[in-house]
Amino acid sequence: MNEFHGSAGMAMAASAADVFEVISDLDRLPEWNRAIERVVERPAALEPGAEWVVVMHPEHLPRWRSRSHVEALEPERRFAYRSHTDDHNPSFAVWQWALTPTGENGVEVTVRWEGYPKTIGRKLLGAPMRSRMLTREVAVSLAAVRTRVEAGRPDGDRPPSAV
């Protein structure tokens, strides 16, 4: 597999500002993304070119560090970044979050991902496995974001009722 692509979307009864606040708060990534165990490095400010490192631990896989770099940051509209393992493997993925207002207090959230495995192991084993897993993982993450923002607490003061 030389590359893989996927997308998921979900309507949310929340403002684009609230959703953007949740998805771009690096310290809170593990609260809504079950595949992220913890954040280990973060930039002083989230801006184009900024980078952060998380420990990934998707279900049934070993842990690894993933380094991400902001490619686009348009508050309330778009958040895009490129991520790769922190072990100098040239494989990478590009993630794009798009927020489209749907009314007075609603937003359609669309996540797109593109994976580019570069080594033989990633092409033959890693990419096919992660490609299948991401469809489910992203849907679960979107549901957790929706629960948080629809509860009116994007800042994390109250945990989501059902993640």
Q: What is the pLDDT of residue 161?
A: 37
Long-range pairs for 92-97: beta carbons < 8 A, 24 or more residues apart: 92/116, 92/118, 95/68, 96/72, 97/23
Q: Is 16 helix (H, G, I), strand (E, B) or coil?
A: helix
Q: What is the pLDDT of residue 91?
A: 95
Alpha-carbon distance of 6 to 115, in angstroms, equals 9
Select the CATH number that applies to the domain covering 4-150 from these four: 3.10.20.30, 3.40.50.1000, 3.90.1150.10, 3.30.530.20: 3.30.530.20
Q: What is the pLDDT of residue 28?
A: 94
Alpha-carbon distance of 53 to 65, in angstroms, equals 7
Global pTM exceeds 0.85: yes
Q: Which residues of the chain have a pLDDT value below 50?
A: 158-163
Q: What is the pLDDT of residue 153?
A: 57
Per-residue pLDDT tens over the stretch 57-73:
999 889 999 999 999 99
Handedness of CA 111, 31, 66, 130 (dihedral sign): negative
Q: What is the pLDDT of residue 160?
A: 41
Per-residue pLDDT tens over the stretch 153-162:
555 554 443 3
Beta carbons of 84 and 92 less than 8 angstroms apart: yes
Alpha-carbon distance of 65 to 43, in angstroms, equals 16
